[in-house]
Structures are given as C-alpha cells and as structure tokens.
Amino acid sequence: MLTRRAGHLFIVACFCLIAAWASGSIFFYFACAFVISLLITAWLFSRIIPYCFFVERVLAERAVEGDTLPVCLRVRARLPLFEYFEIIDHFFPEKPEGQEKKFLVVGVGRRQIELTYVGICDRRGLYQIGPIQVRVFDPLGIFCVVRPLAVFSRLRICPLIFPVRHFPFVLGSRAPRFGRKTTRISGDYEEFYGIREYRQEDGWRRIHWRSTARRNELMVRHFEQSSQWRALVILDGYARYNIGADKESVFEYGVKVAASVLNYLSMRNAEIGLAVSSAAPVFFPLAQGYNHFMNLWDQLSTVAADGEMPLHTFLLRHLNILPVFSSLIVISADSEYRLRHVVKIAAAQRHCAVIPIYIDKISFQEEMLSRPAQPPGQTPPAEGYLVRRGADLEQVFFGANIV
C-alpha cells in the first residue's frame, strides 16, 4: 500500500526525469535515479517485513459459554527499525463485529512486550482464533504494509452447566455379591479393596481374623465406596423441532440440560453415556470418571440439530445400542404418542427406566416471543420435567417436578 510520501516521491522522480531529458543535466539524472532506487529499496524492504516480527498468542484451550477469556499477545520485532506498528487480532473471524482487537505499539525496539485483551465466549463450538495482522511502515515511511501472520489458536467453548439440585434415582445393573457390601445410600455399594491395619474408627465386624492370626495384629477388610448408577442421556437432534434462533432455540436448551445432567451424575460416580440423533449420530457408551465426562462435554460443544429422522425412528434403528438395566434420560421436544410408545418398547426390551425431559417447542415460536416466558395456567406434564423458553433451569431441577 502506497503512502502519501510515496506519491510525492514518485512525482519528484517523474519531474527529475522530464527535466533531465529536456535539459540534459546530469544532476537531474542522478536525482531521478536516487529517488527511483529509494522507492525500489523501500518496496523490497516491505516484502521482508512479515519475517521481522515474532507474535505468539496465549489463551486457554477450553472455555464455557458466557465466559470472558483473557488473551495475551507476545510481540517482538527482530529488527529495531520500526518506530510504531499496529497489531490486529481477530478473536472470532466469522464474527468481526466487536471481536477485532487493535493495538498501536510505539517504540518497542527489540524488546518483547505483552498485549492483553478480553474476548467474549458467546456461543458453544470449536473455533480457530486468528490470524493476526501486522500493519507497519518501512523505516522511511514510503510503503505501508498489512500482512497476515499465520498465528492460530484452537478454542473450544463448552455449553454452560447449571447446578442440578434434584434428580430421580437412576437404575443400575450391578447387584451386591461376594466382595461387595451394600450401603445405606441407594445406588451405591462398597467394593472390597484389600487388607490393612486396624484403626480406632473401624468396627469389629470388619476384622479379618485369618490375617489377624497370621500377623499377630488386628487386620481389617478395606472397602471403597463406588456407584452402580447407569444412565444414558438421549438428546433429540431432529432439525424440524429445532425452533428458535441462536442460543434461544430448542436444541441449545437441550444441550445445556444434557451437560448439566451428565455433570450431576458424574459427580456421583455414575456410569454415564450420550446419544444424539444428529445427521452423524453420536454415541458414547457408558463409562465412569472425570475424563469420560470431559469427553462428553467436549462432544456437546460441537453437536448440531441437523438430524433427518425423528427420535422414535432413531431409537428403533439403534435399539441394540441402548444399555440394559439402566435409565434412559430422553431430552426431546417431541410430545407425540409415537415417541412415548417407542420409548416404552425400548425400556421393556432393555429393562430400562425412562426419565423424560420435555422442551416446550411452542414457547420458542416467534408469535410467543412477545408473551411471558412461562404463561400462567400451564402445568407440567403428567411425568417428567418441563422446560420452557426463558425458564430458570436451575429452578426447574430444584424441586420435585417429576412424578
């Protein structure tokens, strides 16, 4: 990009060339050659400017919807030839409005500086942050160069998780057997872990008499509490039922509910799984542990409501993937009889219990947006949870909303 100074020098070069041709003066020839060489040198210098900067972006790899994410840019000029330059970072390239950050750097020399700003994580998804643009002048200020730097960062924005304070017990397939002792907590058991020394808080019933006689000191059986809860969360990804826009849509509410329920069960050491009836069906088998929950959470950050078949058809085609002796947590906006009938058949064949979570798709229609989020007079369904647009989800799962 030419600056005004480059335009003036080009006019001077043309004037010197015309004057030299008209007068034959060697001075004008030298002046014209000097100005042209100056322009060529500045242009060549502008070609190597992108290699004279070192820029690094530092940010977290995972964030949650609604978070403000701190971002740090580490900038250093390898050649101290720039009095000032401009750094432009695109936090979300597909949403340039309000997400383009500009910094004017003056007198940096060869020192490394850190530029910080805050990015808004508006919506879940997997994003590639970048590139970074550098706008700089050559040392003579003749050319202005804007060059993109291939500095990209991967950012995963996971769905928001709200606290679930009430949820019905889910079923489990394990029954207490040798080496396991049931506890007073429904759905839990204690699993035999080994033999250890007697402690003051241990009861006499835990004493292992054979080991005690062998070692000539009191030894007890050591148990560790585990869980036998098993639950598969089934999220309806049928595109036809995804009414609404952006975060105020049926599917986005369903994703938020699914993430929160999975978090609730994972914190209770339950075996959890996930199935989504999207165009590319998603299925995670039952497993336990924090890492497994993080995998499910990451998957929920990228699922989309692009399914081409209703949920009851999806369940019929994939009936064999449903775990036996577990609970099916069905999150759907489909209130038709066919889905309820298929769910009952699946529950009977796989010996499962069903916990339905209905999303009221009528409240997401455009003609309902101007009305109150929860109109009076509407009652929850006969069974299951009912989620409406604008509802306080934490309050929905606070009381006994299921019968």
pLDDT score at 185: 38
Residues 6+ apart with CB under 8 A from 104: 84, 85, 86
Q: What domains, with CATH codes, occur in the chain?
A: 51-158 (2.60.40.10), 188-227 (no CATH), 230-396 (3.40.50.410)
pLDDT at position 402 over 70: no
Closest CA to 139 of 277, 42, 65, 209: 42
Q: Are 241 and 333 in contact (CB under 8 A)?
A: yes
Query: What's the average model confidence in pLDDT over 37-54?
Result: 74
Q: Could you say which DSSP state residue 278 is in?
A: S
- 254-296 per-position pLDDT tens digit: 999 999 999 999 988 889 999 999 999 999 999 988 999 999 9
pLDDT at position 151 over 50: yes
pLDDT score at 55: 85
231 or 23, which is more confident: 231
pLDDT at position 234 over 70: yes
pLDDT at position 1 over 70: no
Cα gap 138→392, rounded to integer Å: 57
pLDDT at position 83 over 70: no
Among 67-71, 284-288, 313-317, 363-367, where is mean pLDDT lowest?
Answer: 363-367
Query: What's the average model confidence in pLDDT over 165-171?
Result: 74
Calculate what percentage of the chain has a pLDDT beyond 90.
Answer: 27
Place of tokens 């993080």: 294
**CA–centroid distance for 323 within its chain:** 27
Calculate what percentage of the chain has a pLDDT beyond 70.
Answer: 78
pLDDT at position 156 over 90: yes
pLDDT at position 243 over 50: yes
Query: What's the average model confidence in pLDDT over 334-342?
Result: 84
pLDDT at position 144 over 60: yes
Among 171-185, 281-295, 323-337, where is mean pLDDT lowest?
Answer: 171-185
Q: If you write DSSP's letter for every residue of 314-382 in order, what string do you get?
A: HHHHTGGGSPSSSEEEEEES--SHHHHHHHHHHHHHHT-EEEEEEE-GGGGSGGGTTS-SS-TT----S
pLDDT at position 206 over 70: yes
Confidence of residue 101 (pLDDT cuts 50, 70, 90): confident
Among 68-82, 206-220, 265-279, 352-366, where is mean pLDDT lowest?
Answer: 68-82
